[in-house]
Amino acid sequence: MSKIQNLDQKRAFNAITSQGKWAGVNDGQVVKKIPALIRENGLLGAAAFALEKKSGYEDVFNAIIRHLADSGIHKIEKAIPLEDFILKVSEMDSSGLRAITSESMAFLNYLRRFAKKNSGGE
């Protein structure tokens, strides 16, 4: 792969190469629900929901965490478990939380586009 030159390229690359089975009835519905969860409840609220709910939601947040830890993004030092991520982000100042949330939402725009269709349907 050639050198990735900008944030959109990095986001798209991380999203399309993300390893995960996105649970949902069809078209990876979990991935598509997380941006709304973040808008309505904030990043911490959505992450807490994912930690509690598990099935697919936690997988999506783990992809977000890996993306945020990527050397080209570097919003967090390294990929960590979701519970540790929640603790780390809850200790940030408001500008740090906004930066993490903004980058997470930008990444999710790509991740939801690349969500694989599941077999079966409604």
Mean pLDDT by 10 residues, the chain (122 residues): 78 85 60 93 95 83 95 92 96 96 96 66 38
Q: What's the predicted TM-score (pTM) here? A: 0.86
One-letter amino acid for residue 20 of the chain: G
User: How big is the CA angle at 39 (ends 16 and 58), to the nearest 5 degrees?
Assistant: 50
pLDDT of residue 50: 92
38: which 2 tokens?
């973040």
Widest CA span in the chain: 44
Report the candidate in 29, 87, 84 with the shortest Cα–Cα distance to residue 60. 29
